[in-house]
Chain A
Amino acid sequence: MSVQPAETAVVPGARAPGTAASPGAPHRSEQLTVRGLRKRYGAKEADVLQDVAFVLREGESLAVIGANGSGKSTMLRCCLRLIEPDTGEIEMLGQDVMSARERSLRRLRAHVGFVFQRHNLVPRLSVLSNVLHGAQARAASPRNWFQATAPGRLRAEALACLERVGLTELAGRRSDRLSGGQSQRVAIARTLMQRPRLVFADEPAASLDPTAGEEVMELFAQLMRDEGVGVLFTCHDLDHARRYGDRVLALRQGRVMFDRAVGEVDFDGLRQLYGPVPAAERSPREVLYG
């Protein structure tokens, strides 16, 4: 199956992005609804995101695939306004993200875990302090954020989060002395400490060897099973998208190419998604200057 534009790729019975559930489908509330999302970094640059629309329901896993530069990471960051989108509507956990002021945006972010490709742990702090940082939004006093000063209740909770990712024995180690796989598991423990209702993961296995990558993806699957949280993750590994996604959203040049159930995706036909952009799809500027 070849990749088709979003409007023609919606299969019979499947929902168009941003629409309500079809009759007969199990009712799950929408945790994240995005419509008309657009982002451009500079006035002379091309759009990084163009009219992106999708829905993530409670307990659902949405795999976002696409070539480098297709806008996957920008899309994730725009949803939390870590990068300010130009236009669009984003409703997350029942709140309008675009109109949220700083304080309510912080409160909203507190419910959303974000796992980064490069882990983004604080290098000189211990593993336990990094996990404790996950509680920053709900435990406002600075003494709660560090291993040396946090109360026993929070340290026990952080240790329990580390136990879930199998790293209790490394609680006291400096985080810059961990392997890539261990660092990513600590980042997941930090996310667990947030008690998230929704998790974003930006290529969480990309910088890891296949075994460590597999372990990390398995942790996400377990998180979904145990907590029922929605997971939105980007990846290059189509096998991960197939095995860990309920739905697949394909991006090409900032546009949604398709958004469909994982069983309806022809993964063998996805090569076009990663191939060169045909001239017909490129702007005159791109055709002229590459």
Chain B
Amino acid sequence: MADPTRQPDRRRELPDRLPRPDALSFTLYVAVAAFVIWCFQAAEMSVSTFIEGVPSMGRLVSEMFPPAFGRMDSIGATMLETFQMAVVGTVLGVALSIPFAVMAARNQTPNRAVYYLARGVITFVRTVPDLIWAIFFVITVGLGPFAGVLALTVDTLGFCARFFAESMEEADPGPQEALTALGARRSGIVLGAVLPAAMPSMVATSLFALEKATRSSVVLGLVGAGGIGIELKAAMDMFDYNEAATIILSIFALVVLVERTSAALRARLI
């Protein structure tokens, strides 16, 4: 007699865990996988070379310790300059981003020509890396933090204007309609209804931009655009790895401080 507690095996009736791909999807998956493998090959990835390099890595790290704090006053002053560059670049970039964002927001732009022009400028400045902008400004205004500030301003413009425009497009149309109905001008609608609605998102984006600018300002010095980067490069070039370790730790401390402060401000403001 059959055991009544025993259930029949119905596994064959279960639906597939994943939908079976059709021929076209399967071909695409294989093509994407082949492309990724090809990229790995082109990047000259080699596990054996990496393993051979591990002792050198260990030697470099051991030479970095203990960090040398002898020139901490000079490194501290340069770190401060680096952060000041980041703040000024962010402030200028954010200020420039607002008019660009208004022109690049589909529901705020005066006309389509202005929209496409603003979008084009934003896309261009965003796609060119900050280091390239730094080289450009070092050539045009000379060595020093001013070139770095200009590079950071342009980089922040590309980053913020796009997100500002998107938050303006997402702003509740109700208050805008109310101001239109009472005879407000376009500037009144933007200042009175659009910017207040987009403000939380814009503040969050600006704080992200400050974090990004702080990280960028560290490397801009490598091409002579001011900041701590030039100190790091000099220390590395002179095999002064103990001082390089001090600089790297200072950079780490600054970036973490800015990120934590920015996260706390975002949580409070939004």
Could you list which residues of chain A lie within 8 angstroms of chain B, going by C-beta atoms? 80, 82, 106-114, 116, 118-125, 133-134, 136-137, 140, 142, 145, 187, 190-191, 194, 200
Contacts and interface: CB of A to CB of B under 8 A. Distances in A.
Contact of A190 (B177, B182, B183, B200): B182
The dominant DSSP class at the B interface is helix
Contacts of A108: 183
B185 A136 contact: yes
Given A122-B197, A124-B196, A124-B197, A136 B183 contact: yes
Interface stretch (B5-13, B35-43, B186-194): B186-194
B243 to A, nearest CB: 49
B196 A122 contact: yes
Nearest to A122: B175
B183 A133 contact: no
B178 interface: yes
A41 to B, nearest CB: 16
A-B complex: 6 closest residue pairs judged by Cβ atoms: A110-B183, A137-B183, A120-B178, A109-B183, A114-B181, A120-B174
Given A118-B174, A142-B191, A123 B184 contact: no
Contacts of B200: 124
Given A123-B196, A136-B192, 19 more contacts: A82-B180, A106-B183, A106-B184, A106-B185, A109-B181, A114-B178, A114-B181, A116-B177, A120-B177, A121-B175, A123-B172, A124-B196, A124-B197, A133-B182, A136-B179, A136-B184, A145-B188, A145-B192, A194-B183
A118 B174 CA distance: 8
Contacts of B188: 133, 136, 142, 145
Contacts of B192: 122, 125, 133, 136, 145
B199 interface: yes
Contacts of A109: 180-183
B174 A124 contact: no
A136 B182 contact: yes
Interface in B188-244: 188, 191-193, 196-197, 199-200
Interface string B96-108: 0000000000000
A122 B177 contact: no
Interface centre among A136, A137, A142, A191 (most CB of B within 10 A): A136
Contacts of B181: 80, 82, 109, 112, 114, 200
A112 B180 CA distance: 11
Contacts of B197: 122-124
Contacts of A106: 183-185
A182 B209 CA distance: 38
B183 A107 contact: yes
B199 A124 contact: yes
A116 B183 contact: no
Nearest to A145: B192
Nearest to B184: A136
Given A114-B181, A116-B174, A116-B178, A142 B193 contact: no
Contacts of B177: 82, 116, 120
A130 to B, nearest CB: 9
Interface string B165-180: 0000000101101111
B175 A134 contact: no
Contacts of A122: 175, 192-193, 196-197
Contacts of A80: 181
Contacts of A120: 174-175, 177-178
A114 B178 CA distance: 7
Contacts of B191: 142, 145
Contacts of B187: 142
A118 B172 CA distance: 12
Given A106-B183, A108-B183, A136-B184, A125 B178 contact: no
Given A122-B192, A123-B197, A133-B192, A110 B178 contact: no
23 contacts: A82-B180, A106-B184, A109-B183, A112-B182, A116-B174, A116-B177, A116-B178, A122-B175, A122-B196, A122-B197, A123-B172, A123-B175, A124-B199, A125-B196, A133-B188, A137-B182, A137-B183, A142-B188, A142-B191, A145-B188, A187-B178, A191-B182, A194-B183
